[in-house]
Structure formats: C-alpha cells, structure tokens
C-alpha cells in the first residue's frame, strides 16, 4: 500500500483521535458523576485516572496517530555551520610584487610586530597566507639559521614564488607549504609564533582552520592577526568578528594594537590558545 500524503494522513489521524478522545471523555464524565466535580474542570489526578483507564491498544493508537500529524523533522543547522557562513573576500591571485613597496617596513612597524610576537633567534614562525613572502623573508632573518619559518598559502603560484625567492636569498630555513582552505597543514607542535597578515578576511572556514592550527602550536605560542575594518567582502573584517571566531576556535586575546594604521591596517590582535 502506498504511503498516505500528509493531508490524507491528517484526515485518518483526526478520525482516529476523535474516537479515542471520545472514549477518554466518556471515562472522565463517569468520574464527574461519581465525585460531583463541576462540568467545567476535571482535576488533573482524575484526568490521569481517566487516561489510565483507556485500553492499552487505544493509548498506543493515540500515540501513533499524533506522530502522523507531527510535521516532518527538519535537519538542524549547527551553530558552527551558521557562524562559518559569513562573507569573505576572494583570495588575491594577481601580481605578487604589489606587496613589495619601499617603506612598508616602516609603515607596518614590522620589527615591533615581531617583538610583540616574540620572534627571536632559534624560534619557529608560520606565515599563514604568505603571498609573496614579504613577511617570510623578514622572519627568516630574525630567527637566524637556527630558527625555522613556514610559509603557507593555498595559492600554488604563491608557494612557487616563495620557493624561488628563498632560494635566491639563500634562506635554507624557509619551508613552503601548500595549505587547504580549512587546514594549514603545518607540522604538529612546530611553531612558536604565527602571523596572519591581511589575509584573515579571506578565510572561507576560519573556525575549523584555526581549530586545526592548535595542533601545530608549541606551548604559549602567539598568533598575530593584522587586518583592516570591513564587511568581509571588501578585503577587510571587523575585529569583533575575528575575536568571536577565535574564541569559538579555542583562543583568547592577549593584545590589541592600532599602530599598524600607518600601513592602512586598522588593528593588530594577538591571541593564544586556551
């Protein structure tokens, strides 16, 4: 027999419920006659007794019929899924040389950025969304040959660009990584500091990405995020959104600065894992 459509199922259910409910009302009426209860109200205990006096088969039928009337369950969207569906900017894939301008070091105050992230000789640093490798080569010089720098990007052209750049500058401590939209693919327990420079607004899945990053952090590692204000689609994102997503990924903020405004970047946030 083919399944009933919702309307037909409802008709059959209403008919069955009417019959079963009638039996319940009849039992309740008998209780009123015996106890002298008013016609407007049936005490709760008596109503329970009335329902209990129904035959087991009637109660089972009542349950089945109500289930037929219930609307079909809709798949619930998880909080994490809804939070991930924010606007993002399309990752830049143009000429990488645009990131190389003469006074950028001074405008961004990159030495102060590295000081605050405790980038020092022998340390291991990750440049996530490395682009042309502008920060990569500066971090490589700061950590010295005894340190390591991981230059990660999801753009294969950027990864190749950094490989060639590092080779030309004899930077043997630079290691390139082709990441994924939700995984940096950094080695486990490998980095003391991370910088996400002007790329957080491009992250399509920021919470899963940052959650996975935690496995690659050494104890007390610092994560720096430099970006500009925006709505996500205009190559910027509000700092409140960043802080909320980082909290959901298991981090808390330990620093907030605005000296990066000299380079057009509204904020520099520093986080560490909980």
Residues 165, 167: Cα–Cα separation, whole Å: 5
- The token pair at 56 is 């087991």
Q: To 5 degrees, how large is the angle CA 78–CA 237–CA 231?
A: 85
- How far is residue 3 CA from its own chain's centroid? 40
> What's residue 88's pLDDT?
80
* Pairing state between β 148-153 and 174-178: parallel
Q: 147-164, pLDDT tens digit by residue? A: 999 999 999 999 999 999
In 3D space, the residue among 137, 273, 259 whose CA is nearest the CA of residue 213 turns out to be 273
% of the chain at pLDDT higher than 70: 66
Distance CA 9, CA 11 (A): 5
pLDDT band at 21 (very low <50, low <70, confident <90, very high): very low
pLDDT at 96 over 60: yes
The rounded percent of the chain whose pLDDT value lies above 90 is 61
Between 103 and 88, the more confident residue is 103
55 band by pLDDT with thresholds 50, 70 and 90: low
pTM: 0.69
Domains parsed from the chain with CATH numbers = 6-69 (no CATH), 86-273 (3.40.50.150)
Q: Which of 20-34, 129-143, 260-274 has the lowest mean pLDDT?
A: 20-34
């Amino acid at each position: 027999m083919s399944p009933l459509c919702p309307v037909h199922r409802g008709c059959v259910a209403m008919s069955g419920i009417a019959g079963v409910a009638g039996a319940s009302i009849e039992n309740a009426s008998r209780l009123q006659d015996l106890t002298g209860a008013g016609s407007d109200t049936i005490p709760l205990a008596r109503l329970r007794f009335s329902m209990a006096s129904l035959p087991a088969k009637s109660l089972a039928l009542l349950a089945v019929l109500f289930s037929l009337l219930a609307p079909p369950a809709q798949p619930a969207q998880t909080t994490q899924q809804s939070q991930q569906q924010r606007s993002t900017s399309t990752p830049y894939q143009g000429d990488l040389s645009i990131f190389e301008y003469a006074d950028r070091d001074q405008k961004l105050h990159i030495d102060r950025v590295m000081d605050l992230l405790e980038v020092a000789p022998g340390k291991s640093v990750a440049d996530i969304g490395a682009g042309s490798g502008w920060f990569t080569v500066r971090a490589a010089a700061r950590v010295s040959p005894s340190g390591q720098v991981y230059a990660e990007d999801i753009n294969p052209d950027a990864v190749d660009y950094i490989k060639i750049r590092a080779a030309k500058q004899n930077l043997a401590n630079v290691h390139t990584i082709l990441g994924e939209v939700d995984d940096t693919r950094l080695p486990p327990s490998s980095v003391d500091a991370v910088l996400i420079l002007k790329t957080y607004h491009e992250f399509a899945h920021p919470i899963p990405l940052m959650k996975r990053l935690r496995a690659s952090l050494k104890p007390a590692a610092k994560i720096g995020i430099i970006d500009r204000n925006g709505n996500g689609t205009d190559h910027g994102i509000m700092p409140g959104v960043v802080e909320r997503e980082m909290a959901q990924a298991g981090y808390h903020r330990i620093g907030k600065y605005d000296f990066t405004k000299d380079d057009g970047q509204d904020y520099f946030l520093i986080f560490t894992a909980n």
